[in-house]
Structure 1
């Protein structure tokens, strides 16, 4: 009975986190062809889960390490900006294999950096039981893959969702940066400042992405005078 309750708790933890992770996957694979998108989302999620299982045993004090969440938050912000900029370019502007492996890389790194809290929760709930950890994480894979592919389809149909997704990632990145142990120790940010920073970065990522796209468009349209 205890095993069953622990397993259900792990599934709940993974599905709670799956929303943000599915969004990251959707943003990363959105520009890939449909077949590669499915392979990329499934492969990236699977690799991330395998690494998460290993990290659960190796990083019981991960949240106390300075810079880990800060670097992860900055990486999430970079993904949001890159997706916005890439959305303004023709789909064939980069070779497909390069984009495919880039998508896998983004998924794995972003999933791991966003899953730090989840890793510790899993370690505590599973009490070090490898079978429980694999069971809980494995059940969440189909949900993440399905929802990420659905989100990617919707983003291609309704481009405004790309901006919404980037704003959400900006918010997530801001929260990770402000909750890094180094930032907490030096600045002691209150909940109010946390919410303000999340809002600023959510809007700021979208504005920065638009400005970069506009600058690139001006350079592309500029014809030097002979």
Structure 2
């Protein structure tokens, strides 16, 4: 068959743009590991995440119409942001095989949750390829993998130098989690009511609330842990 370069370029572009948050997850999950273990965790986590994302391509249209799916996925992303930030002050030298597996599991599960909307965007971009749309979607994801992996490694280096990025990354997970939650079919009627008072800033307000919720819940938890 003749390659539809337009569809392929659109898919890769979407994956790169949407892959920024996935790169942040990988970097956060691996930031507490010793440098010698980070490369292995990135590769294992990315491989597992890509496999699940390919499977999700097949079922994405069905899953997106089910109430509670995005709600649960979004809430879980808020929890991951909280958990990773709480663990970010751990001593990397105590990392063991168990923490490597935990990092890989976090990458795979978080990427799966974040890919719910990503996959739909990729499928939409692939429609021009007709009967081969799924093949194009998978090819686009595979092509974008090195960019996401190297992006995660670059973010980790920045985190080592500027620890505040860890906080911003965890807040981003809260932002994306809230974005997923408010797009759940269950909240459609509620958001229509909220828009009457918040207007065009409705969605931005909820996403910002997710960002702030992760940051301040960690500050509160650390304060209570320190005063205990």
TM-score range for the pair, normalised by the shorter chain length: 0.7 to 0.9
Paired position in structure 1 for 2:188: 184
1:148 to 134, 148, 152: 152
Is 1:193 matched with 2:197? no
In the TM superposition, residue 92 of structure 1 has moved relative to its aligned partner by 4.2
Q: Is the 8 A contact 2:60 2:116 kept in 1?
A: no
Scaled by the length of structure 1, what TM-score is found? Answer: 0.88
| Distance of 2:121 and 2:171 partners within structure 1 | 27
| Distance of 1:139 and 1:107 partners within structure 2 | 19
Q: Is the 8 A contact 2:25 2:107 kept in 1?
A: yes
RMSD of aligned residue pairs (Cα, Å):
1.9
Q: For the structure 1 residues 184 and 92, does the alpha-carbon distance in structure 2 shift closer, same or farther, using more than 3 Å as the test?
A: farther
Scaled by the length of structure 2, what TM-score is found? Answer: 0.87
Residues 101-132 of structure 1 show CA distances to partners (whole Å, capped at 9, x for unaligned) of 11111111111211112212333415453432
Is 1:42 matched with 2:63? no
In the TM superposition, residue 187 of structure 1 has moved relative to its aligned partner by 4.2
| Distance of 1:128 and 1:206 partners within structure 2 | 45
**Where does structure 1 lack aligned partners over 5 or more consecutive residues?**
220-226
In the TM superposition, residue 185 of structure 1 has moved relative to its aligned partner by 3.8
How many pairs align?
218
Q: Is the 8 A contact 2:34 2:93 kept in 1?
A: no
| Distance of 1:21 and 1:50 partners within structure 2 | 14
Paired position in structure 2 for 1:217: 226
Corresponding residue SS for 1:65:
coil
Question: Which has the larger share of helix?
Answer: 2
Residues 172-193 of structure 1 show CA distances to partners (whole Å, capped at 9, x for unaligned) of 1111111111112444353422
- Stretches (4+) displaced over 6 A: none
Paired position in structure 2 for 1:112: 112
**Where does structure 2 lack aligned partners over 5 or more consecutive residues?**
none
